[in-house]
Amino acid sequence: MSKQKTILSTIALSWKNAAGSWQIWSLLLLVNFIFAKLISAPIANIIDSASLNRVIPANVSLTYIYDLIQNDQHLVSQIMSTLPIILGVYLLWTVFSTAGIVNSVFYKDFKLSTFLSGGLKFFFRFLRLTIYMLILLGFIGFILYKVLTFGEINIFQIDSEDFLISRAVWLSICFAVIYTFLKLWNDWLKITIARLNPKFFFRQSIGAISQILNIKTIVVFLINILIALAMILLFRTIGQIIPIVAILITQVIILARLWYKIANLSSLSMLNSALDRAEES
Amino acid sequence: MTIWLLTVVPVVTFGQIERLNDEYRIQVSLDTATHTLTAKTTLTWTNPDDKPVDHMLFHMYYNAFKNTNSTFFSENEFPESLRPPQDDGCHWSYTDITDIKDNNGNDLTTMISYIQPDDTNILDQSVLRLDLITAVNPGESITLSFDWNAAIPNIMPRTGYNKEYYFFAQWFPKLGVYETAGMRYAEEGSWNCHQYHANGEYYSDFANYNVSMTVPNSYVVASSGWLQAKHTFDSQMTTWTFTCDNIIDFTWATSPHFTVQKDKFKDTDILFYTYPYKEDIASRYFTAIKYCMHYLDEKLGDYPYPTLSIVDPPIHGLFTGGMEYPTLVTSISFNFFPQGFRTPETLVMHEFIHQYFMQMVATHEVEEAWMDEGFTTYWEGRILDDFLGESCSMVDFAGFNIGTKEYNRFEFLNSEYNTSAPITDKSYEFESSAYGPISYNKTALWLQTLERMIGVELMDEIWKTYFQRWKYKHPCRQDFIDVVNELVQLKCQKFPDGMDWYFDQVIYGTDLCDYAITNISNDVITTQAGFIDGDIDCLNSIETDSIKSTITIRKIENITVPQQLKVYFKNGNILTEELFATNEYTEVSYTTDSEITKAIIDPDTLIYIDRNLLNNSYTTEKLSQKTNNTMTSWLQGRFQNALEFLSLLI
């Protein structure tokens, strides 16, 4: 009973923290909006230049998109070449902002100054962690791909595609489970880095593996995901029922995802600190 | 019980000689251990010409896969990854006539030679010439009896075996088409019989078939025609006898794993053959095919055969999928194929439409591929859009929609080869990547444009007339053009001289079409200034209430078509006029008391072949701003979501 209570109160407090950290999520939302604008604006320019003085059709169709691209191929290739740069910079911002959130939830101080100082303090360590995470994901993806194509699959040699499909389904489930644990491990390690402030974190990353294999941590992590999914579903449904401007609904859904991010790190921070207290006692 | 009485005896005459169907009786036995066929054929052919014929030509298409020297393999550009493994045993094939006699008892076996009518590759053996000891006189028949055997190729395109799946297309020595003077392009009577090429399909004559296949007991046979008898004569083998009259080819498939599901449209039994793991897709095929049959039944005429077989091969028989044969079509699907991807519906409809265009109206698939593939693609677009909705008849998945007609337009316009050759090229003369966009998609696109220009009712009448006039015959492009011109001149006031001006551009030419409105100017007219008509008073120019408005139209590509121009004035007046802009720039001017705010060339999108529909309009007001805002917001939302999703990785 008390364990349940602890789980529920951890979650409740985390979401309260998330909602209360309005300076952080406002900034995150704003930056997300600006970066999306950086990508969508040139595309809008193509539409503008193609449809300047044109009567354009009411529905977006393959015909319309194709004619649009034909109209301004130069700008299309420009967008394709700048897109990786924008995505790269956004990735760096995400590393910075995650470091800021971790700092804020660890000190339970949701002022912008704490967020920014945390971003600066942990940026390079989190960047390293991100690179490790991407390498790990790539490696796991490679292994799963090898398993998927194991046995030199030649469509002329197989009896039916059934086994390939079921293999793909099982591997997708495997990937989802592995990714979930990897993500939990990654988030937990971030909190640990904030708590112990180590220069290198090899020992902590090994320790995190055993620490996350804890029913309470897993339950809290999963419930937070469920809450986020429920919120997104709710907002989507509201958006479909009530004729609200689509862009507003998008902002609310993005906001729900940002709240989840803060709430999740906040929950893990509380659990991580509790572990710390338990170790001390 | 339905008794089928087909019009077996054709009524076509060229000169005084009646053209009779070939008669095939084939008894074939399949050896699944050695992957070989042993067969006996009796063939009766009647000379339709007014002069004796002293030789005959046969398609020996299994010899295309005999060795790497064949024309097929010298032209073949199949990706290496899709080639079957050639290293564990022999995968090559051949057809060999071992004994042949005519009805006078003459042994003709030594009179066989191989010829190459299309190229200089003397090693190609896909066309056989048989010199006759006794020439066949006009109107007389010859009956040949021959024994032959064949090695079945391992998964070559469209035919062969793999594992326990056998598909027999182009599998027997099949007579070429004897074209009499005046038939298609023939100036004098001669055989038309092409080698087997990497690009392109087939051409053969109408015939009545009676085919008995002996296969192991456990095997199920799917075949052209309808089952007449099934006889199990020992514990090992069963003979299935199928018959069909008035068809241009005969195809069959067999496997011990085939399951059969049945449905019916009017008096036609629809039989669906597939492997057990794909049985669930049957309902999609039945629904689509019945819709298609009903549609063509109304627009063209009855499907006259008592059966239609659909074969959906297992994955290892993929090369045989998506093909058309008389009364038997093949499709492609995969297990768990999402409903929103319409590939099974598209394929089965496309192949069924071929029953009309190239099976009943038997055009030459090699010399004029567009007359079957292009016509079929046109009808496929019409029927699928009608069946599933114009915007989503090809893909309707996760909010992503594509219509069939617009996809055809995209396929043609997006191809880098779209101007590389006229559609009149023979299929094997096309660059490999140009064949599809030009034969299939370009034809469909200009037919859609023709339909919009002359109206769908007249177009339907043209199709019906063409089909009824040419069914069970071998028309060529001029025969189609003649039907169009005849009816257009009679019923379409807009084009009193017919459509040759259009066909010259789209059939014989390689140009594209793109008209654009590049500018609208509105200038207030001022009065004359100076000393006018000897008046000693100097007049100053003053503005009048009249406005001279000019619309500039640019013909960017070379195809010239008449268009409508719709002009919108600020005072609410709308003017529509016919325009035939032949120069690169055309200016259309109006003097009125109101400015032009908007002009649209081809406002009803009749000229669907136009490569950029967006530049067909011009407005002096930015009317599109509202739509732009909606689209920009939509894009913004999508990218915000995508970026936030990306951050989940961190």
Q: How many helices (H) does chain A have, and how many strands (E)? A: 9, 0
pLDDT of B8 reads: 37
pLDDT score, position B12: 45
Q: Is residue B632 part of a domain?
A: no
SS3 content of chain B, % helix, strand, coil (to 5): 25, 35, 40
**Containing domain of residue A30, as a range?**
2-275
CB of A49 within 8 Å of a chain B CB? The answer is no
What integer pLDDT is reported at residue B284 of this predicted model?
Answer: 96
Q: Is residue A87 part of a domain?
A: yes
- Write down which residue in B471, B506, B541 finishes a domain: B506
Chain A from 185 to 244: CB within 8 A of any B CB: none
pLDDT (0 to 100) of residue B9: 40
In a domain, A27, yes or no: yes
d(CA B127, CA B117): 8
What integer pLDDT is reported at residue A81 of this predicted model?
A: 86
For residue B306, the SS3 value is coil
Chain B residues with CB under 8 Å of A229 CB are none
A280: in domain = no
Angle in degrees, CA A10, A13, A15, rounded to 5: 105
Domain count, chain B: 3
The answer to whether the Cβ–Cβ distance between A160 and B275 falls below 8 Å is: yes
Chain A residues with beta carbon closer than 8 angstroms to that of B337: none
- DSSP 3-state percent helix, strand, coil across chain A (nearest 5): 85, 0, 15
Residue B13, pLDDT score: 44
Asked if the Cβ–Cβ distance from A247 to B633 is below 8 Å, we say: yes
Q: A31, A34, A56: best mutation site toward chain B, by most B Cβ within 10 Å?
A: A56
Same domain, yes or no: B124 and B38: yes
Mutate to test the interface with A, among B156, B614, B617 (most CBs of A within 10 A): B614
- Which chain A residues are Cβ-neighbours of B600 within 8 angstroms? 55
The whole-number average pLDDT for the span B116-141 is 96
Q: pLDDT at position A138, please?
A: 93
CB atoms within 10 A of CB B209: 23
Is the alpha carbon torsion for A57, A62, A64, A65 positive or negative?
positive
List CB contacts (< 8 A) between B641 and chain A: 250, 253-254
Residues B55 and B162 occupy one common structural domain? yes
B243-263 average pLDDT score: 98
CA distance, residue B326 to nearest chain A CA (Å):
26
Tell me which residue of B72, B39, B56 sits closest to B250, measured CA to CA: B39
Condensed to tens digits (0 to 9), the pLDDT of residues B50-109 reads 999 999 999 999 999 998 889 998 887 655 555 555 556 678 899 999 999 999 999 999
Q: Are residue B417 and residue B547 in the same domain, yes or no?
A: no
Task: Tally DSSP H helices, then E strands, for chain B.
Answer: 11, 33
Q: Which two tokens stand for residue B412?
A: 């043609």
Q: What is the mean pLDDT of residues A58-77?
A: 77
Is B283 inside a domain boundary? no
Domain contains A243: yes
Look at A250 and B641 and tell me if their CB atoms are within 8 Å: yes
* pLDDT reading at B382 higher than 60: yes
B26 in any annotated domain: yes
Q: Is residue B92 a contact partner of residue B150, using CB atoms and an 8 Å limit?
A: no
Residue B371 lies in a domain: no
Q: What secondary structure does DSSP assign to B569-638, as a single string?
A: ETTS-EEEEEE---SSEEEEEEEESS-EEEEEESTT---TTBS-SGGGEEESS-TTHHHHHHHHHHHHHH
Give the pLDDT band (50/70/90) at residue A186: very high
Whether A280 shows a pLDDT value over 70: the answer reads no
CA-wise closest residue to A105 among A202, A187, A1? A187
In a domain, B279, yes or no: no
- Test A40 with B636 for CB contact under 8 angstroms: yes
**Is the domain of B433 the same as that of B553?**
no
Task: Say whether both B435 and B576 belong to one domain.
Answer: no
Quote the minimal CA–CA distance from B615 to chain A in Å.
7
Which residue, of B210, B230, B256, is where some domain finishes? B256
> Does residue A178 belong to the interface with chain B, where contact is any CB pair within 8 Å?
no
Residues 6+ apart with CB under 8 A from B87: none
**Interchain proximity B406–A61, CB inside 8 Å:** yes
Looking at the fold, whether B421 and B567 belong to one and the same domain comes out as no
C-alpha–C-alpha distance, residues B247 and B22, integer Å: 10
A60 contact B CB<8A: yes
Between B228 and A204, name the one with better pLDDT.
B228
Query: Same domain for B125 and B198?
Result: yes
Instruction: Indicate if B501 and B611 belong to the same structural domain.
Output: no
Contact residues, chain A, for B613 at CB < 8 Å: 63, 67
Restricting to A residues 61-80, those with a Cβ less than 8 Å away from any Cβ of B are 61-64, 66-68, 70-71
Q: Convert the pLDDT of each residue in A221-262 to its tens digit.
A: 999 999 999 998 998 888 777 766 677 888 888 999 999 999
Q: Which residues of chain B are within 8 Å of residue A136 when distances are taken between CB atoms? A: none
> What are the φ and ψ backbone dihedral angles of B17, each rounded to 5 degrees?
-90, 130
The answer to whether A61 contacts B617, with C-beta atoms less than 8 Å apart, is no
CATH (domain of B134): 2.60.40.1730
With beta carbons less than 8 A apart as the criterion, state whether B130 and B217 touch: no
Q: What is the mean pLDDT of chain B?
A: 91
| Within a domain: A197 | yes
CB spacing of B643 vs A90 below 8 angstroms: yes
pLDDT of B149-161, one tens digit each? 999 998 788 999 9
In a domain, B251, yes or no: yes
Domain-located, residue A123: yes
Tell whether B404 and B462 lie within a shared domain. yes
- By the 8 A CB rule, do B20 and B246 touch? no
Which structural domain, as residue segments, surrounds residue B427?
Answer: 395-506
Q: Work out the pLDDT band at A41, boundaries 50, 70, 90.
A: confident
Give the C-alpha separation, B537 to B532, whole Å. 8
Residue A56 lies inside a defined structural domain of this protein: yes
Do B460 and B584 belong to one domain?
A: no
By C-alpha distance, which of B156, B180, B189 is closest to B170?
B156
Longest Cα–Cα distance of chain A, Å, equals 74
ipTM over the 0.85 cut-off: yes
A53 to chain B, any CB pair closer than 8 A? The answer is: yes
Number of structural domains chain A divides into: 1
B577: nearest Cα among B556, B595, B554, B553: B553
And the tokens for B212? 């008995």
- Is residue B351 one of the residues assigned to a domain? no
Q: Is the pLDDT of residue B372 over 90?
A: yes
The answer to whether position A281 is within a domain reads: no
Quick one: which of B175, B172, B167 has its CA closest to B148? Answer: B172
pLDDT digits (tens, 9 = 90+) for B311-361: 999 999 999 999 999 999 999 998 878 899 999 999 999 999 999 999 999
Distance of CA B311 to the CA centre of its chain: 19
> Among B335, B628, B649, whose Cβ lies nearest the Cβ of A44?
B628
Check whether residue B594 and residue B457 sit in a common domain.
Answer: no
Same domain, B209 and B66: yes
Q: Pull the structure tokens for residue B169.
A: 């297309």
